[in-house]
Structure 1
Amino acid sequence: MHARAVAATTTALLGASALLIPAPDALAGSGRPTVIAHRGASAHAPENTLDAVDKAAELGIDWVENDVQRTKDGELVVLHDDNLKRTTDAEEVFPDRSPWKVKDFTAAEIARLDAGSWFGPAYAGARVPTLDQYMDRVELHHQKLLLEIKNPELYPGIEQETLKLLDNEGWLDRPHLESRLIVQSFSADSVRTVHELKPAVKTGFLGTPPVADLARYATFVDQINPSYSSASTGYVASVHAVEGPHGRPLEVFVWTVDDANTARLVAGYGVDGIISNAPDVVRDALPAQ
């Protein structure tokens, strides 16, 4: 079924609930930026693992960010790279499976891999979590999730599958939609599909569209999330001047900021969020609200 047809059906079924307006943590351009733990607290624990979620919670960080991809047999897993080489021992366990692409391995095969030893011996034996395992851990800590659909061109239909899993996990109810969930991607088409399938979900586009194009993006995104190096006071103000699909100014979350000076710099731009591998460093660098 075409995405627009699915969206129409979904909206009809959900009625008023599909028109929920996400409540931002802070008004666009004002207040202390939200701090988001990039791939969990990945300066302190292996990225995208349950340990990284736990570490973010230990540090008192409410928001975590992750990356979602799909296995050969259709399981959604939490991994950044489209291959398993950098953050697991896939080359050792499966020496004849080059180039070790995520999409070429089953969930059971990926579950065998060590996703922690590369980071340090204390994390030996950490596993690549499935998305439902990850969601359970985030929920356990009462955290909030910035979920990135990674490489959607490799996984046709991943948007609908991700939304279905989120729904099954209870993350598409009013409290989660209002303040605990954002779905983002570098692919504008993927973000647009999420918006069409589930208009109530808050969405973000990863990148720096020209100011002239912001109104077009604002029909399906609530956030424009650029690299910090491409942000500026003027660009952030231009984003904030545009109203998104839920009747609020577009927000800006910048990435990836790991030092105090840069954190203070981008906070001065008026950004709404700062994504960091070292969220404790960024948090401590910002003035108390």
Structure 2
Amino acid sequence: MYVRPAAAAAAAFLGFTLTLLGGTASYAAAGPGSSTDPRAGLGGPVVYAHRGASAYAPENTLDAIDLAMRLGFAWVENDVQRTKDGVLVVIHDDTLARTTDVEQVFPGRSPWKVKDFTADEIARLDAGSWFAEEYRGARVPTLRQYMDRVQRNQQRLLLEIKKPELYPGIEEQTLELLDEAGWLDERHVAQKLVVQSFSADCVRIVHRLRPDLVTAFLGTPALADLPRYAEFTDRINPWHTTISADWVAAVHGLVGAHGKAMEVDTWIVDDAAIARKVRDMGVDGIITNAPDVVRAAVTGF
């Protein structure tokens, strides 16, 4: 679901109102379980801004995470892929066609795969006007640019390594960049970062390389298979249509890679009724394009 410019204006107003209630900066710096931690106080699941506040701004852009900050959300989610010359960039699709003007800028290079373009070429693309004219000129950020903005905003990151089978070694490269950006120190690892993937092998590699990191597997494993995932991950993050309260309880009944009860963060929930439904199933987090809608539904604020 996408809401165009009128909704963005409404979101900005809502963000001002929410700032009066307490903004991102105050609780992003707090530790888990504190009175200002996003998991405490309001009594509902953690709300993750999927690709930023992507119902109101072009997904995976700096505009989208800035808007999430203004709306008062500490946690943002993104997608990481790699260019032809080995630069990590933040984009969801493995092709540039849907969210940039690549077909106009490079008309002869179908199918416009991310891995077939250099970082400099991708930096030329408009990643905003497809969504709304007011975002014309937005760019596909490199992961380093993105991390610097998340840090500036005092936000937390749910980072997805996208299609790792296309990019051999991307797990190690991503961790190296995170380290260079200052995101693998004790504070960030403990409070501000989760790495996830649809690839169990990818999650397993990340856990092997950095056993201290919180990881998540994207999908809905069968109940009989859940103990195997608990060996190398801390969370199972399923599509909301695939789960039940019994399944969530089964995940919670397992001890994950860090010796704690496993958690469930479900996606993509943009509807208030569905948000309340999965909350009542007992999920720990909700990943959403419209974080304001979900927060209002599950907390009343």
**Would the TM-score normalized by the shorter structure come out above 0.5?**
yes
Matching of residues 126-165 of structure 1 within 5 Å:
126-165=138-177
CA contact (8 A) 1:42 1:52 kept: yes
Distance 2:186 2:300 in 1: 29
Q: Aligned partners of 2:65, 2:299: CA distance in 1, in Å? A: 25
1:180 maps to 2:192: yes
Q: Aligned partners of 2:203, 2:96: CA distance in 1, in Å? A: 25
Distance 1:273 1:258, change over 3 A: same
Residue in 1 aligned with 2:45?
33
Give, in whole Å, the separation in 2 of the partners of 1:62 and 1:283. 12
Over residues 23-55 of structure 1, what are the superposed CA-to-partner deviations in whole Å (9 max), with x where a residue is unaligned?
68788xxx5200000000000000000000000
Q: Does 1:85 align with 2:126?
A: no
Deviations 1:234-274 (A, max 9, x none): 00000000000111011000000001111101000000000
For the pair 1:74 / 2:86, whether they are aligned, the reply is yes
2:196 alignment partner, SS class: strand
Structure 2 residue aligned with 1:227: 239
1:287 is displaced (CA, Å) by 2.5
Conserved? CA contact 1:171–1:177, under 8 Å:
yes
Match of 1:114 in 2: 126
Do structure 1's residue 259 and structure 2's residue 271 form an aligned pair? yes
Match of 1:4 in 2: none
Cα distance in 2 for residues equivalent to 1:279 and 1:126? 21
Structure 1 unaligned regions, length at least 5: 1-21
Of the three residues 45, 59, 63, the one matched with 1:51 is: 63
Paired residues of 1:26 and 1:272 also in contact (CA < 8 A): no
* Residue aligning to 1:10: none
Q: Extract unaligned runs of 5+ from structure 2.
A: 1-30
Distance across 2 between alignment mates of 1:282 and 1:231: 18
Greater RCO between the two (CA within 8 Å, min separation 6)? 1
Amino acid at match of 2:141: P
Aligned residue identity for 2:181: E
Other structure's SS at 1:100 match: coil
Identity, % of aligned pairs?
66
| Aligned amino acid, residue 261 of structure 2 | P
Deviating beyond 2 angstroms after TM superposition, the runs of 4 or more aligned structure 1 residues are: 22-27
Residues 185-196 of structure 1 mapped to structure 2, 5 A cutoff: 185-196=197-208
CA distance in 1, matches of 2:69, 2:166: 32
Cross-structure match for 2:5: none
- Counterpart amino acid of residue 135 in structure 2: Y
Q: Deviations over 1:176-203 (max 9, x none)?
A: 1111100000000000000000000100
CA distance 1:200–1:23, shift in 2 (3 Å) = farther
TM-score w.r.t. the length of structure 2 is: 0.86
Aligned length: 266
